[in-house]
Amino acid sequence: MTEYRAVFDAEIAFVNGGGLSARGFRLDVPGLDVGEAAVAELLVRHLGLALVGSVEFPAFEIVAEAHKGSRGIATDASNGTPPTEASADRGSRLVDLSHPIRAGLVTYPGIPAPSIAPHLTRAASRAVYAPGTEFAIDVITMAGNTGTYLDSPFHRYADGGDLASLELATLVGLPAQVLHLADAAERGIPAEVCFERTAAELAGAAVLLHTGWSRHFGTPEYAVGAPFLSEAGARFLAESGVALVGIDSLNIDDTEGRGERPAHSLLLAAGIHVVEHLAGLDRLPARGARFTAVPPRIEGFGTFPVRAFAELPVPGPGAAG
Q: What is the pLDDT of residue 313?
A: 75
Is 81 contained in some domain? no
Q: What is the pLDDT of residue 82?
A: 37
pTM of the model: 0.85
Is 231 contained in some domain? yes
**Total domains present in the chain:** 2
Q: What is the pLDDT of residue 92?
A: 63
Tell me how long the chain is.
Answer: 321
Say if residue 176 is in the same domain as residue 303.
yes
- What are the contacts of 251-260 at 24+ separation with CB within 8 A? 251/108, 251/226, 251/276, 252/209, 252/228, 252/276, 253/228, 253/229, 254/187, 254/188, 254/228, 255/223, 255/226, 255/228, 256/225
Is 18 contained in some domain? yes
Say if residue 305 is in the same domain as residue 164.
yes
Cβ atoms within 10 A of the Cβ of 225, count?
Answer: 11
CB-count exposure of residue 130 (10 Å: 0-12, 13-18, 19+):
exposed
Say if residue 58 is in the same domain as residue 158.
no
- Domain CATH for 225: 3.50.30.50
Cβ atoms within 10 A of the Cβ of 214, count?
Answer: 23
Say if residue 53 is in the same domain as residue 151.
no
Is 79 contained in some domain? no
Is 27 contained in some domain? yes
Q: pLDDT tens digits, residue range 258-308?
A: 889 999 999 999 999 999 999 999 999 999 999 999 999 999 999 999 999
What tens-digit pLDDT sequence spans the chain (321 residues)? Answer: 788 999 999 999 999 999 999 999 999 999 999 999 999 999 999 999 999 999 999 999 999 988 887 765 333 323 333 333 333 444 469 999 999 999 999 999 999 999 999 999 999 999 999 999 999 999 999 999 999 999 999 999 999 999 999 999 999 999 999 999 999 999 999 999 999 999 999 999 999 999 999 999 999 999 999 999 999 999 999 999 999 999 999 999 999 988 899 999 999 999 999 999 999 999 999 999 999 999 999 999 999 999 999 999 776 554 443
Say if residue 152 is in the same domain as residue 57.
no
Say if residue 157 is in the same domain as residue 286.
yes
Say if residue 177 is in the same domain as residue 285.
yes
Say if residue 152 is in the same domain as residue 275.
yes
Say if residue 286 is in the same domain as residue 180.
yes
Q: What is the pLDDT of residue 215?
A: 97
Is 31 contained in some domain? yes
SS3 content of the chain, % helix, strand, coil (to 5): 20, 30, 50
Say if residue 180 is in the same domain as residue 283.
yes
Q: pLDDT tens digits, residue range 146-175?
A: 999 999 999 999 999 999 999 999 999 999
Say if residue 155 is in the same domain as residue 283.
yes
Cα dihedral across residues 216, 222, 226, 227: positive or negative: positive
Pairing of strands 92-96, 273-276: unpaired
Angle at 142 between CA 208 and CA 291, to 5 degrees: 20
Is 128 contained in some domain? no
- Residues 6+ positions from 109 with CB-CB distance below 8 Å: 223
Say if residue 177 is in the same domain as residue 301.
yes
Is 8 contained in some domain? yes
Q: What is the pLDDT of residue 66?
A: 85
Domain that holds residue 48: 4-64
